[in-house]
Structures are given as C-alpha cells and as structure tokens.
Structure 1
Amino acid sequence: MRGQASFDLIEAPWIRALRHDGRPTEVSILELFGSAAELRSIVGEVPTQTFATVRLLLAILHRAIDGPQTTEDWHELWRSGELPMEDITDYLDGFRDRFDLLHPRTPFYQVADLHTSKNEFFGLERLIADVPNGEPFFTSRVKDGLTRVSFAEAARWVVHCQAFDPSGIKSGAVGDPRVKGGRGYPIGTGWCGRLGGLFAEGRNVRETLLLNLSGGLSEDDLPAWERPPSDAREADVAGRPDGQVDLYTWQSRRIRLFADADGVYGVLIANGDKLDPHNLHGVEPLTAWRRSPAQEKARKEPLVYLPRTHDPDRSLWQGLGALLPSATGSRSSRDGATAVAPAVLEWIAQLEVEGLLAGDYVVRTRAIGMEYGSQAATTAEVFDDSLTLAAALLKEQDTELGACAVGAVADAERGVQALGNLASNLAQAAGDRQPGARGKAHELGYSMLDGPFRSWLAGLRTDTDILQARREWQLAARRILGDLGRQMVADAGPTAWVGREVDDTRPGKDTRHVSSPEADLSFRRQIAKAFELAGKPDRDEVPA
C-alpha cells in the first residue's frame, strides 16, 4: 500500500448508522459505542452488511466486559443507560494494530503479504456484493464506484466478505497447501452465508447490542484479533469454534486490499478457514436450526442439526413456529426435536422470565440472509424481513400464547390453500391449460394477509385473551380471503360458469364436472372449516 499510512477503525468513521431523526451518519467503533443510545440502527450498503457489522460489534463488547457471565451481569448493563465506555476503550487500546485497515503487518481482517504466484490482484467486483460477478449491468454502481472506493467503504466490505463471500474457485495464495494448479478450490461460503441470520433490534443501537449480548462465554472464546495473525494457510481449527465470539469473527477468507492515498482500487481474495455447520446449535445464537435426517444417515450420527436458512419465497412470519422457543421446546430436552429456536430469542425469553425485561417490551426480530446461485458461487439475492414481538411471546413457559401465534399461521395456511384450490378449479372450468393459477393465488393470499398478520402478532401480550385474539385473527383472515375468492369467481367469465368435465385424480373416479358455481361452493366450505373459531359469516362475507 502506498500513500495512506493508516486507517484506524477504532477512531476513524466507517460504520454507517441512522440517527433517530432518520439522518444517516458514519461513526467509528468508539463513536458508535459512545453514542449508541442516540443512534436508531446500524445500516449498510446491503442488509447482510448490517448483520456482519452487528456481529463484529458484539464480539468487541463481549470481550471488553468479559461477559456477561450471568443474567444479573446483563441487567446491570441494561439499567445503566449507557455502555461501559471505559472498559471498551481500555480493551480496544490493546489491539489498535489489529484494527488498522492498512497496517503493514497486521491489517484488519487481512493478510498483509497475501499474493499469488503471478503477484496479481483483481477488481473490486470480487469484494462488493451488490456487483454481481460477471453481470455488472445489473448493479446500481457506476464505473467510478467499481474502480475505487473509500477506506471506510472498503472496511465495511471486508467485514461483509469474511461473513458472506460466495463459494467457488478463489485465487491460489502462495503458501496455502490446499492450492492446486494456482487455484483455491471451493470450501463453501462465508460462515454467515450458511445461516438464516436473525437478531433482535431494540429502540436504539445500545438496546440492540445488549439484547443480543447473550451470556455464558468460555475463556477460550476469542475473536480473530486476539488470535495469531492469519497467513495464507488454513488455521488449526481442530476443536473450534470455541464459542460465539469465535464465530462472530470467523476468518472464512484470506483478503488483501490494494490501496493508495486516494482509496482502495483492488483486492485479492483466497480461501480461509473452513467450517462445518452441523451441530453448532449450542454455539451459534443468531439463527434457527433444523434437524437433518439425511445428514444423520450420511454421518451415522443420532442427531444432526443444520442452520435453517431463509426462504426468499416466504415471509418470516410463515415460519414462526421455528422461531419461538415455546413452539420448538427446550434446548436442554430436544431429543428428536425437529427444530431448535434461535438461542438469542431464548436468551431474551430468559430475561423476561427472570423479570429483567418487561413482558410488554417489544422486540423487533430482524432476519437477514444471503441466497446464492449455482453451487453457491454467485450472489443471487438478499433476504431481509422482520417481525415485531412482545418479549412474553418468546417464553418457553408461556406455551398458550406461543401456540396462539403459531396456530394463527396455520389458519392462514389453510385459508390460502383454499384460495389456491379455488383458483385451480376456476382455471380448469375455463379450460385454461397454463399452470400457475394455484401458485399465483397463494402469493396473492399471503401478500394480502401479510400486513394484517404482522399487526395482529405485534399486539399479543401476557394479558391477551388468547381465544378472543385467535377469533379476531380468523375473522380478519376470512374476510380478506373471502373477498379475494368472490372477486376470482366474478372474474372467471361465462365459460367457467358453464364449466367442463376434467380428469378426476380421486381413487375410483375418472372425471368430474367443474364450474365456477361448483368451485365457489367448495371454496366456501373450505373457508368455513379453516376459520371455525370465527363463527357464522356475516351476510357480506363468504357464507358457510
């Protein structure tokens, strides 16, 4: 690197954030911790950058306070009104060389002398996730944004690269014994790319950091900057990760920035430390987990859990059952459980149970993840969704409230399924041989239920009348889907009204007649069954 001698991430502004009035700002690490209560949220060029940055800040805070070891330790931080800046400053002062983006020997999250046999480097499209590799015409970036970026932006993308870099062939770094023919063959995506990332957002950055600051760290759980500096080789990862801080700063890649006094103009990215995600549910708190019978068979292990990634075709609330501790069961008695809730939500539930967090405290559960293309070698799209939940809803002990929420999702699924059946029958009645009517109806139904469900869910509290709340949701959902169904029937046209004979897939049946009146009648019956708690429909609703 030439010209610029240093870019100290502890002191120099580089983290993007929003103030409470909506104004964007850039702050240093120390500024962020010092003004955390005055900042609404951390933001990034892409949502996955936000998730990666939050994890970095959590690692710093965990190590600065050496904990929290107990919920009482956590409560002292929560009540204080500010973060422990003396502890944070003292801690960071001991690692200033490791937080210098341009340090000649230990640049932050990089390897100073990383090089290939040809001493080459590459364009910034390999580092910047909003520039699809090989498809630059799909990006909002202009040419100047690709040829050079500021040190602040480069720092954000380095953090993001370690967390979410796609898999695929990487540059073959000299000194890495895994390199063959000058190439580094795939070891998988960055660690966060394996997750269905999820964290809790409070009313400001201070609350966000503390809500995700779950306790019980081990002495060996160290971040990357407290470990020996990386070189081109894979580190000795036997027995690791040592804990959540280790995972928050996992060095999935070996990176080297190329810069001059005006900014960063090139990058070299090689393979870093490989990590197998199976059965890390006791270590990684910021994702839900699913049981994998296929992996149990392949590994010959009785239980194998893998991170539950986000489905870009489904809203977060549609998978609510996998998020709530009350729905998935205790982490200490999960023998054979098909799902494990995110540990961060169980932590918040524990705080509420112990009276350290008010039961009516509202948590915004933010879900962020990366979807990759073929063989996970390219970036396809980013998942970003959120749900507003009362802390009481997360309590494993409060099974009735959790069951109410999960049951409401099931109500929606049954209703949308009925709408899909109606759309399919109407298409057959009209002689439409084009597939897709059912899928389009599902998409429409869920989109129309999305806002009302989120509002209903946010209103659940410890003193909620559960039966009445479920009835109110069914009434709302029945009205919405009923209106959609009536409109579909009205739009079906005269051909569908007459109908036709179609193949019947039921056992012992050859054909059946389908028409819009018959499809309508079937839909009405299905809707009535799906929303039984709603009672008899009003005259302006779908009749039973």
Structure 2
Amino acid sequence: MSATDQTSFDLVDQPWIPVRMRDGATTELSLAEVFTRAHEVATLSGDLPTQDLALVRLLLAILHRAWDGPEDLDEWERLWRAERLPTEPVVDYLDRYRVRFDLLHPETPFFQVAELRTGKGETSELSKLIADVPNGKPFFTTRLGGELSLTYAEAARWVVHCQSFDPAGIKSGAVGDDRVKGGRGYPIGTGWCGRLGGVLPEGGTLRETLLLNLIPRRADTPSRTHADDLPAWERSPQGPTVRDEPEPSGPVDLYTWQARRIRLVADGGRIRRVLISNGDRLEPQNRHKLEPHSLWRRSKAQEKKLREEPVYMPTPHDPKRAIWRGLEALLPGAITADQRAEAAGRLTAGVLDWVAELTEEGVLGPDFGVRVRTLGMSYGPQDATTEEVTDDALALRSELLRRGAQHLVGVARESVGASERAAHALGTLALNLAQAAGKAPPPKSGMPDATDTGDRDRAIELAYAELDGPFREWLSGLGPDTDPVTAEARWHRTANDIVWRLGQELHERAPEAAWAGRTVNDRLLTAAHAADRFAKTLRKALPQARADEHTAASA
C-alpha cells in the first residue's frame, strides 16, 4: 500500500451503494444514508442486476438485527404505515459494529480476511472479482484498455456480489486451509445466491421494497426465532479455515453467508489486485424454510440419493425464457391446500408467500402494485465461469398473489397456456411452409420433427416476443374487480390478433415452390394446406377469440 492510500473506507459513512432516486437522478449513498433516505430512493442501481439482490439482502440483515425483528404482523404493519424507516436504532447498530464495516481495516476488513495469503504470495487480476469479465472474456464491461482497477466504493459492491454469486471452479489455495491440495482450492460450488432462482418483490420506493422483503419472526417457523441467527459481522472474524458451525442458523445468516475468503489489494488510492479462496461450503437441499428469495422444486433424484422425502432444490431461472411463461411458479394461489399437504412438486418464494399473507390480512390493499423481479446468474461447464444474468420483472396487483384469488390465478395460468399453444401454432405453420417448399426434410414416420431448418423454433420465439409486452400489460390489469371470463376472452382476442398477423406475414413470404407443394407423409402439402391447418390450430389454441371469423384464404 502506497503512502497516498487511505487506511480506512468506512461503509457506514462513505457513499458506495448506487441508487436511483424517485426524481430519476442517480447517486451513491452510504449505509447510514440509504436507510435514512430510503423513502426518497426508487431502487438500487447496481453495476450488474444481481448486485441489487446481493445488496438488498445485506440491507435486510442489518434491519433484522438493528430492530431485533419485526416480531410479528402487528409490528410489521406499524413499520409499513410510517412514512419513513425508524432509523435511530439502525444508526446506533451500525455505529456499534462500525469497525466491521471498514473495507480497509487492517484486522477485520469488511467481508474479507486480513491475513489471507497463498504459499507463494500470489494475487489475481480484478477480473476474478468482477462478474462481467468471466475468465478474461468481457461481455458487459466498459473497463477495457489499461490495467483494471476499482475505486473503493466499486470494490465494496463487488465484494458483496462475490460472496453471493462467485462462480465455482478452482480457487487460490489459502495457507491454513486444510482443504487445499497442491496449492489449489478445489470447487465447493458457487456463491449461495448463484444457486437460487432469485425472486425480489419491489415497491414504489426502497423503503417499501425493504419492508416487503422483511419477513417477521414466526411462531410456526422455528428457524426465524434463533437467537444465534447472526450476520457475518457479528461473528468472530474468519480466517482461511471453514466456520466452526457450517450449518446456517437462519435467513440473516444466509443473507451474509461467506462462501469465499477474500482480500483486496490497494495501491495508489484504488484497488488493484485481489485474492479469492474458498470459504464456507453450503449445500442447497431443503433450505426453503430459511431462504425466502428463491423458487423451489421437489427433486426425485435427490430424494433417492439422500433416502428421504420430500427434498426441495432451488429452481434457477432460464435467462432465455420470459418471466411470465413461468408465472405459475410465482403465484402462491397456484398451489392448492391439497398440494401443500402432500408435498407439492414446487414451492414459490417465501417473500411472495409473505406478500400474499399481507394481502389476505388486509394490510396491503388488493390493488397495491408489486413489481416481482426475477434475478439470477447462470454459469458455464462445472459452474466455473459466469455465462448469463437473468433480470426480468412483472408488474402485478397484490390481489393476484393472494392465495384465495383462485379465479384470477386460474385465468392467468390458462392464458399463459393459451399463449404457448398459439406460439406453437405459428411454429407449426412455419415448419409446414418450409416442408411444402422442400426447404425442410419431412419427418420420418414415427419420429419427431427434428429435421426442420429452425424455421419452427424461430417462429415460436417470434410469437413469444410479440406477445410479451401485451401479455405483461394485460396481466397488470388483473385485480379485485376483474371478471375472469371477460379478462380471458380479452386476452384470447389480443393474442389471436398478434399471432394471426404473424401467420399472415409468414404465409405471404412463402416461396413460390410452397404453393405447388410436395408430398409429405403420403399427402400433398401446399402453402394453402399449411394456412388451413394454422387457422384450425389457432382456433383451438384461443377458442374465445372467435378465430373462425377469419378464413384460411386470408392467411
């Protein structure tokens, strides 16, 4: 460290958390400021979307410990009715643990190990810390050219993110870690959030977002009553070895789980290098009672392996699939009482169950707008590199999340299914037109249509892309005054108009050879035949749209 370097960077008072204010301005706030001004902040605005989830979980851990609660629904409601967060206990708490929130502290640097080193004293480039530069293959970064370095504020954010989302793979072997072999730390899995199908309900301000995710202690959930559910900064400073008690004691523990041992290297007033080694390993099976920010699925393979049931695993997001196509997994009302009693095949996120309860209890009005955001990271082979980031959101009225809103949940689920059937109708039209033109080989008898040219898949994705915006808008309108029959018919008509138009465009672009056609499975297939089949399939997919008013000839 040079003589010009700071010897302290206090995260309590120094600005480092990026936010977007309600007036649209962007700035950075300290920990103390982000709580005292939470009602003025619209949302966090991290360097990467997954940073937002990691930072929110950090803030939640602080609130839970500073308030020692909330204890129950009544206490939560008092917090919700207030215009601002009661920050005096929060500021007092941060001051009490201030030394643990110093990024550069010589003995207890924030989320790091001060004496971390390898046998040869190596450190790594910051590409190991920044998730948008996977293994030297930048795809998000704007930091190209020259040596990569970070301000202290940037480094603090990436340290939080690294503990949550760091890829697996071989790490630097830390001196003192008895798991190291040949100077290497062999894979223990990604950071904890990297295993999750992250779900984050958001309100109109950061104050609302934090409270919507601040689940009270529950008498029926013992894991939330543990007095030892402590964040990393309330525990003894960690060395390179694993934690004495490797099992998480509650959600606060998970929010700050130290999956890595990290040491930042500062020089010239900036962070220049980093050392990242393995930290505390954490297996994902059956963590759903402690972890509220993920979707879950029942795993028969894990049940067989562990010889117990049920076993639930986190359900990562598919970055190529729009959030609304997996809508059923997000709606608490989609899981019936019978399913809950008989170990359902999937579970929604605990934070969405909480919003559902708030709506059921009348604390949130049925028209309250909730932005349900899905966040996650997908990785390459063996989870060793960062590959893609998922960041999607749906604007919903809280009524749709209520367990008793079966009528709305039913129409939402059916409309997703109808959209999928309509998209596949368009895909089949594209395939039939290609086959009629001789472009795609016909399927062999008894075999799937795996020999097409990709026309079908492209058409299906085109349909989904065109349906995306209108479906989100339609879904946001479902509320307590919605008539399900009318709403479903409205969506069928909207979807039919969109997919019918796309079908017309495909038909009009069909090559001349398709009009003459060719024999497929012993039957003549022409563009006219393809259009007729499309009209019938679309009518079946969207029966309430009265697609039969159209004629195949107009396709």
What TM-score bracket applies, with the shorter chain setting the length?
A: over 0.9
Deviation at 1:261, TM superposition (A): 4.7
- Residue 500 of structure 2 corresponds to residue 482 of structure 1: yes
Aligned to 1:158: 159
Alpha-carbon distance between aligned partners in 2 of 1:518 and 1:281, rounded to the nearest angstrom: 51
Aligned partner letter, 1:10: V
Aligned to 1:209: 210
Instruction: Confirm or deny: 8 A CA contact 1:82 1:206 kept in the other structure.
Output: yes
Alpha-carbon distance between aligned partners in 1 of 2:113 and 2:96, rounded to the nearest angstrom: 20
Aligned to 2:220: none
Instruction: Confirm or deny: 8 A CA contact 1:310 1:369 kept in the other structure.
Output: yes
Judged with a 3 Å threshold, the aligned counterparts in structure 2 of structure 1 residues 334 and 542 are, in CA distance, closer, same or farther, namely farther
Aligned to 2:70: 68
Deviation at 1:12, TM superposition (A): 0.4
Alignment of 1:393-472 (within 5 A): 393-433=400-440, 435-472=453-490
- Residue 29 of structure 2 corresponds to residue 27 of structure 1: yes
Aligned to 1:252: 259
Per-residue CA deviation, residues 364-400 of structure 1 (Å, 9 max, x unaligned), is 0111111111111011111110000100100111111
Judged with a 3 Å threshold, the aligned counterparts in structure 2 of structure 1 residues 346 and 488 are, in CA distance, closer, same or farther, namely same
Per-residue CA deviation, residues 135-194 of structure 1 (Å, 9 max, x unaligned), is 2487422234x5321100000000000000000000000000100000000001000000
Alpha-carbon distance between aligned partners in 2 of 1:289 and 1:491, rounded to the nearest angstrom: 44
SS at 1:492 equivalent? coil
Judged with a 3 Å threshold, the aligned counterparts in structure 2 of structure 1 residues 448 and 536 are, in CA distance, closer, same or farther, namely closer
Larger mean CA deviation between 125-134 and 246-255 belongs to: 125-134
Alpha-carbon distance between aligned partners in 1 of 2:337 and 2:94, rounded to the nearest angstrom: 37
Alpha-carbon distance between aligned partners in 1 of 2:553 and 2:98, rounded to the nearest angstrom: 67
Aligned to 1:225: 233
Aligned to 2:291: 284
Aligned to 1:302: 309
SS at 1:119 equivalent? coil
Alpha-carbon distance between aligned partners in 2 of 1:341 and 1:370, rounded to the nearest angstrom: 19
Which residue, out of 515, 535, 547, partners 1:524? 535
Judged with a 3 Å threshold, the aligned counterparts in structure 2 of structure 1 residues 425 and 542 are, in CA distance, closer, same or farther, namely same
Aligned to 1:172: 173
Judged with a 3 Å threshold, the aligned counterparts in structure 2 of structure 1 residues 480 and 136 are, in CA distance, closer, same or farther, namely closer
Aligned partner letter, 1:180: K
Larger mean CA deviation between 170-179 and 91-100 belongs to: 91-100
SS at 1:133 equivalent? helix
Aligned partner letter, 2:213: N
Aligned partner letter, 1:461: G
Per-residue CA deviation, residues 433-475 of structure 1 (Å, 9 max, x unaligned), is 3521111011100000000000000001011011100100000
Count the aligned residue pairs. Answer: 535
Aligned to 1:507: none
Judged with a 3 Å threshold, the aligned counterparts in structure 2 of structure 1 residues 334 and 275 are, in CA distance, closer, same or farther, namely farther
Aligned partner letter, 1:98: R
Instruction: Confirm or deny: 8 A CA contact 2:528 2:553 kept in the other structure.
Output: no
Alpha-carbon distance between aligned partners in 2 of 1:543 and 1:271, rounded to the nearest angstrom: 63
Alpha-carbon distance between aligned partners in 2 of 1:394 and 1:136, rounded to the nearest angstrom: 39
Deviation at 1:487, TM superposition (A): 1.1
Larger mean CA deviation between 425-434 and 390-399 belongs to: 425-434
Instruction: Confirm or deny: 8 A CA contact 1:168 1:377 kept in the other structure.
Output: yes
Alpha-carbon distance between aligned partners in 1 of 2:151 and 2:254, rounded to the nearest angstrom: 27
Deviation at 1:120, TM superposition (A): 1.3
Alpha-carbon distance between aligned partners in 1 of 2:40 and 2:141, rounded to the nearest angstrom: 33
- Residue 503 of structure 2 corresponds to residue 501 of structure 1: no
Q: Which runs of 5+ in 2 are unaligned?
A: 218-223, 441-451
- Residue 191 of structure 2 corresponds to residue 190 of structure 1: yes
SS at 1:111 equivalent? coil
Deviation at 1:230, TM superposition (A): 1.1
TM-score, with length taken from structure 2? 0.94
SS at 2:390 equivalent? strand
Instruction: Confirm or deny: 8 A CA contact 1:331 1:340 kept in the other structure.
Output: no
Deviation at 1:330, TM superposition (A): 5.4
Instruction: Confirm or deny: 8 A CA contact 1:11 1:28 kept in the other structure.
Output: yes
Alpha-carbon distance between aligned partners in 2 of 1:153 and 1:137, rounded to the nearest angstrom: 18
Alpha-carbon distance between aligned partners in 1 of 2:339 and 2:207, rounded to the nearest angstrom: 30
Instruction: Confirm or deny: 8 A CA contact 2:429 2:534 kept in the other structure.
Output: yes
Aligned to 2:446: none
Aligned to 1:236: 244
Which residue, out of 398, 405, 421, partners 1:391? 398
- Residue 353 of structure 2 corresponds to residue 346 of structure 1: yes
Report runs of 4+ in structure 1 exceeding 4 Å deviation. Answer: 536-544
Instruction: Confirm or deny: 8 A CA contact 2:496 2:547 kept in the other structure.
Output: no
